[in-house]
Structure 1
Amino acid sequence: MNKQEFDRLLEKYADVVVKVGLNLRSDQSLSIRGIIEDAPFIRKVAESAYKAGARYVDVLWDDENIKRIRLQYADPETLTSLPEWLLHRYEEYYKRGDAELAFHSLNPDLYNGIDSDRIAITRKTLSQKIGEPLRKYSNHSNWCVVSTATPAWAKKVFPDLPVEEAQEKLWEAIFSACRINTPDPVQAWKEHIQKLDKYKDYLNHKKYTSLRYKAPGTDLTIGLPEDHVWGGAQESFTNGITGTVNLPTEEVFTLPHKDRVDGIVTATLPLNNQGVLMEEFSIRFENGRAVNSSAKKGETDLRKLIETDENAGRLGEVALVPNSSPISQSGILFYNTLFDENASSHLALGNAYKTSMQGGADMTDDEFTSRGGNKSLIHVDFMIGSAEMDIDGIKQDGSREPVMRKGEWAFNV
């Protein structure tokens, strides 16, 4: 595409982020987290945000190569260090009810060759010092996660193309997945959200006690807490704003019961977790806990991820995505969970969202876990869906109903 057309699509993308993803209010400030390669699009978002009446747009820049350099050369004892101002910065925005936009565009091979112990230390430190303290604010403010076609990521997705061509092709895929190339992207998103709401409402009405998954390499039963709530597309925050937290999104999701997951599940797509790639892996669960895991690539990293804390080896999310989703049908392996999770039904290791349980947002951690919710430092999605997956919903009387057949919805809404 020519530069003029690209700039037009980039502006439409920025407007979707501000109007659909964040649903930014005119009196809000906006905190943005991104790497320096995201800069051209971040400037477009800032422009759109100020046009929408934003009070202030503040960008916290990062450099993924500096992250790798630190892991290579820093004294291991310093890897648990983070500046105190970083936490205070986040708290300031959350306490004030301002908006946050995060970019997820990292190089999938960023940490190739880096010692897995160093990676595990930094991952746990971020979760403890930034992630965990701020979970209490996660429903206070409108937030959204998006991506840009950075050079390293584009080259991973399209390795046979020169970098510039790979970036253009990845941008085209992002625009398509986020409905930017439609005549009216904002209206297209409204219609898509209404469609996802119908599936969410159907599942909430059913109140299944568990889900049974069957596919090659997968035979898994996931119990659901009595008061589970299916969500999808949009989330409402205590600051009074409703937004779409992931762009793109094709899922409906809820939380599993932390003690009622049994069987084996095999991933159908690679998992890129903070620059570490894990491929062709399986996990076996007993009474909710991962008791065994194996992987063709990244097995040690997978094991360390599961061992992050005492509950990292339990599940915190179950999400359903039809195989016919536009991202799946694109045939592109993105090596980016934000996109790949919307091509495939998936699960998440670790923390469960309190908003996935009736009244959960007002519960203490002890109350939440006593009802079946999981609390952990991590929340890592991995993809398990395919055109060969069948899912049954099990009712209170033990009878079963088809929820998905061959990767597609088995009911009409």
Structure 2
Amino acid sequence: MDPRVERHAEIIVEHSTQVEEDDNVIVSAPPVAEDLVVAIAEKLGEKGANPTYSLRSSRASRAFMRASDPDSFTLPGHKLAEMEETDVVIIVRADENTNETGDVDPETRSAMTQAWRPVSVERMDKRWVATQYPAPGNAQDAEMSTAAYEEFLYDAVNKDWDAQRTFQEQMVEILDPADEVRIVSGDTTDIRMSVDGMVTANDYAELNLPGGEVYTAPVPDSVEGEVLFDKPLVAQGREIEDAWLKFEAGEVVEHAAEKNEDLLGAVLDTDEGARRLGELGIGMNRDIDRFTYNILFDEKMGDTIHLAIGQAIEHTVPDGQPFNESAMHMDMIVDMSEDSFIEVDGEVVQRDGTFRFEE
């Protein structure tokens, strides 16, 4: 087996999820990622864990959603029961066709997300990680050969995560005690938000592999201004380009997009919390040096920030602080490499992609 795959599995089991003897583990993956599943299974066997394997099929998901009445979706109680009895969840992403569910009605997708929300909430209390296998569909989206995409992926994943944690901790020390953050990019983005009392987290590949971001939660009602997300995003199998949001008192009051504006509107209409921000993230993984239409990588890309509408990440919101709840969590990216800056409590901490601690 490719030693890069074996190393990937080792990081998943040893670092990201810290699997222990007798842990109940769900490994969820599509068939195209079988090599990584096999490598993970070997590591789980060495640990004495108790794994189950969950096959995911985007073709099957498409068929089910297109055949279903969205008003009929209910919580799958058997899936919730399984999640309640689980200690560790390993989610492997890999696509032969990243647009397989692109012709599913957005409202149907949102209804299913709402029905499954208790399962997602339960999973957040587990040790879990989401990662990527270099499948042909993902390479094609990135406009790379499969071999080149493999090299790109493993450079971003199989790295020294202790060193990455130390590098990112410098930004945590700036952001964690802060009151206000302002983000400016060209003449299209100028947005302010309070982060007072929120927790800043250092992502060094514990929940997402690759890791490589520092993130926190805005105070929901504090967000003011406009932001143009100049990197595309893929939602429900469809691409949204140049999404633009205007915030007043924390709520999206206007929105637009150059492509699939209807889909953006459907996402914002998921529930009340989908019109507010749940996350501010700063990309710091410099081995991710190109946009690949894969949010797991793109949100970590150096010289970017991302804002997520919808559900806040629980460990960034202490007890007593306002928590934004939603069935949605969608990350959107702004390129900060040119004519841009991040300001924390009135002081510029990054300009044109360079942090002050790098100067």
- How do residues 198-213 of structure 1 correspond to structure 2 at under 5 angstroms? 198-204=170-176, 207-213=177-183
Indicate the residue corresponding to 2:312 in structure 1: 352
SS state at 1:372 partner: coil
The answer (yes or no) to whether the contact 2:268–2:274 under 8 Å persists in 1 is: yes
Unaligned runs of 5+ in 2: none
- Structure 1, 275-284 or 250-259: larger mean CA deviation: 275-284
Which one of 75, 94, 97 corresponds to residue 105 of structure 1?
94
Return the letter of the residue paired with 2:88: A
What value does the CA root-mean-square deviation take over the aligned residues?
2.2
What CA distance in whole angstroms lies between the structure 1 residues aligned with 2:5 and 2:213?
25
Indicate the residue corresponding to 1:240 in structure 2: none
The answer (yes or no) to whether the contact 1:317–1:348 under 8 Å persists in 2 is: yes
Identical counterparts, % of pairs: 23
For residues 82 and 228 of structure 1, do their structure 2 counterparts lie closer, same or farther at Cα, with a shift above 3 Å needed? closer
The answer (yes or no) to whether the contact 1:256–1:372 under 8 Å persists in 2 is: no
Which one of 136, 141, 151 corresponds to residue 151 of structure 1?
136
The answer (yes or no) to whether the contact 2:20–2:49 under 8 Å persists in 1 is: no
Do residues 385 (structure 1) and 335 (structure 2) align?
yes
Which one of 358, 376, 382 corresponds to residue 326 of structure 2?
376
Indicate the residue corresponding to 1:61 in structure 2: 55
The structural deviation recorded for 1:372 is 2.8
TM-score normalised to structure 1 length: 0.80
The structural deviation recorded for 1:412 is 5.4
Return the letter of the residue paired with 2:29: G
The structural deviation recorded for 1:82 is 5.7
TM-score normalised to structure 2 length: 0.91
Return the letter of the residue paired with 1:305: V
- How do residues 211-226 of structure 1 correspond to structure 2 at under 5 angstroms? 211-216=181-186, 217-224=188-195, 226=196
For residues 212 and 373 of structure 1, do their structure 2 counterparts lie closer, same or farther at Cα, with a shift above 3 Å needed? same
The structural deviation recorded for 1:68 is 2.0
For residues 20 and 77 of structure 1, do their structure 2 counterparts lie closer, same or farther at Cα, with a shift above 3 Å needed? closer
For residues 222 and 298 of structure 1, do their structure 2 counterparts lie closer, same or farther at Cα, with a shift above 3 Å needed? same
The structural deviation recorded for 1:79 is 5.9
The answer (yes or no) to whether the contact 1:109–1:277 under 8 Å persists in 2 is: no
- Number of paired residues? 354
What CA distance in whole angstroms lies between the structure 2 residues aligned with 1:387 and 1:47?
42
Return the letter of the residue paired with 2:267: L
The answer (yes or no) to whether the contact 2:70–2:111 under 8 Å persists in 1 is: no
Indicate the residue corresponding to 2:295 in structure 1: 337
Do residues 327 (structure 1) and 320 (structure 2) align?
no
- How do residues 101-250 of structure 1 correspond to structure 2 at under 5 angstroms? 101-106=90-95, 107-112=97-102, 114-115=103-104, 118-126=105-113, 128-132=114-118, 134-135=120-121, 138-139=124-125, 141-158=126-143, 166-178=145-157, 180=158, 185=159, 188-204=160-176, 207-216=177-186, 217-224=188-195, 226-233=196-203, 244-250=206-212
Do residues 316 (structure 1) and 278 (structure 2) align?
yes
SS state at 1:197 partner: helix
Do residues 43 (structure 1) and 38 (structure 2) align?
yes
The answer (yes or no) to whether the contact 2:76–2:116 under 8 Å persists in 1 is: no
SS state at 1:312 partner: helix
Unaligned runs of 5+ in 1: 235-242, 395-399
For residues 54 and 297 of structure 1, do their structure 2 counterparts lie closer, same or farther at Cα, with a shift above 3 Å needed? farther
SS state at 2:124 partner: coil
Return the letter of the residue paired with 1:130: W
The structural deviation recorded for 1:76 is 2.7
Return the letter of the residue paired with 2:112: T
